């Protein structure tokens, strides 16, 4: 299976190789990339190595990306596929509609970014017909404590289900809806503006497979989340609720998790087809600001 990646630019074809290491973490997912500077052109062979490592480890942590500009962040992300624009476009970085500001900072009493992004486990944009392939989150300002991001490996979640439960859920579809918990979030924080009718129209509920096949590796993974999955289709409401509660609890057990403790200038690139993630929380008085770019993936099957 091969990815449909964006065509190489001439800079990528001729750029000198960079010397870098990919060091897998001990645990269920993740690897650190040391020595690669994403603000310099990444040549074709180096890019292939990164692409393969992303498929193998699901979360890549690129250290020390201090020089990376938003334009370069967008350009590197765009080599994996078309980019998605978040429905909360008020939190886009000015001049960069593809960059969502994830931040708890208030300026003149107003939020500069989405402060509660990721407070429930989810896969980015699973509520779109074409959910996200991956997301690249770049640290610009980090708190002195807290602010971690947790990832849970959904291939392991699937692999460890009982044969009976696998058989039950394999053919099922579930509804995913951006607005599933929007009112709840709106009630507890300043980060969720009222949506216009045009914004609501962009995030209609969609049906997704409960178990999806990764389009590049062929591996199966669970594809439900406490944030966006509202119900299993075609089963009675009480059964749907019970089944989802069981799957949510199973999918994020500690043995499937990697906890990312951010270091200055990290850029973390995760595979939304393989992992769920959660923002573990930042104390209100500490500032946190990151830029997120999201790549469109395939229709899930
Ligand atoms: C997200 O869900 O994209 C944000 C994660 C984070 O802020 O740690």
Domain ranges of the chain: 10-296
Residue nearest to atom 6 of ligand 1 (CA): 279
Distance (Å, whole) CA 198 – CA 291: 24
**Residue 66: what are its φ and ψ, rounded to 5°?**
-70, -30
**Which residues have C-beta atoms less than 6 Å from ligand 1?**
102, 117-118, 135, 137, 149, 277, 279, 290, 292
Instruction: Indicate whether this model's pTM tops 0.85.
Output: yes
Q: Which residue out of 122, 138, 212, 273 is catalytically annotated? A: 122
Residue 1: predicted pLDDT? 41
DSSP annotation of 246 = H
pLDDT, average across residues 67-84: 98
Query: What length is written for the chain?
Result: 301
For tokens 């807290």, the residue is 146
What is the token pair recorded at 9?
Answer: 């630019």
Known catalytic residue at 155: no
Q: Which residue out of 124, 227, 260, 288 is catalytically annotated? A: 124
Known catalytic residue at 122: yes
> If phi over 0 gives left and psi between -120 and 50 gives alpha, with beta otherwise, what is residue 146?
left
Kindly indicate whether the domain formed by 10-296 is annotated with CATH number 3.60.130.10: yes
pLDDT band at 8, cuts 50/70/90? low
pLDDT, average across residues 215-240: 98
Q: How far is the CA of 277 from the centre of ligand 1 (A)?
A: 7
Known catalytic residue at 124: yes
What is the token pair recorded at 53?
Answer: 């490592």
Residue 33 bridge partners (DSSP): 22, 62
pLDDT band at 11, cuts 50/70/90? confident
**Residue 91: what are its φ and ψ, rounded to 5°?**
-100, 15
């Amino acid at each position: 299976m091969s990815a449909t990646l964006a065509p190489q630019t001439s800079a990528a074809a001729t750029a000198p190789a960079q010397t870098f290491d990919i060091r897998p973490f001990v645990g269920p997912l993740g690897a650190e990339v040391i020595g690669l500077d994403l603000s310099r052109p990444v040549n074709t062979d180096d890019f292939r190595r990164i692409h393969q490592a992303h498929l193998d480890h699901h979360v890549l942590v690129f250290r020390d990306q201090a020089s990376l500009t938003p334009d370069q962040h967008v350009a590197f992300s765009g080599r994996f596929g078309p980019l998605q624009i978040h429905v909360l476009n008020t939190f886009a970085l000015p001049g960069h509609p593809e960059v969502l500001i994830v931040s708890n900072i208030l300026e003149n009493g107003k939020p500069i970014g989405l402060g509660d992004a990721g407070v429930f486990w989810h896969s980015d944009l699973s509520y779109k017909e074409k959910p996200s392939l991956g997301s690249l989150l770049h640290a610009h300002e980090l708190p002195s404590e807290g602010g971690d991001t947790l990832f849970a490996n959904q291939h392991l979640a699937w692999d460890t289900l009982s044969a009976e439960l696998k058989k039950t859920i394999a053919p099922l579809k579930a509804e995913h809806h951006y607005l599933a918990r929007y009112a709840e979030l709106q009630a507890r924080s300043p980060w969720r503006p009222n949506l216009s009718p045009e914004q609501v129209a962009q995030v209609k509920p969609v049906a997704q497979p409960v178990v999806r096949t990764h389009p590049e590796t062929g591996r199966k993974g669970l594809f439900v989340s406490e944030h966006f999955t509202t119900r299993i289709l075609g089963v009675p409401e009480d059964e749907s609720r019970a089944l989802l509660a069981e799957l949510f609890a199973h999918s994020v057990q500690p043995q499937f998790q990697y906890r990312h403790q951010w270091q200055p200038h990290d850029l973390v690139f995760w595979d939304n087809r393989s992992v769920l993630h959660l923002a573990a929380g930042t104390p209100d008085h500490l500032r946190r600001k990151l830029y997120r770019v999201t790549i469109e993936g395939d229709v899930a099957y």
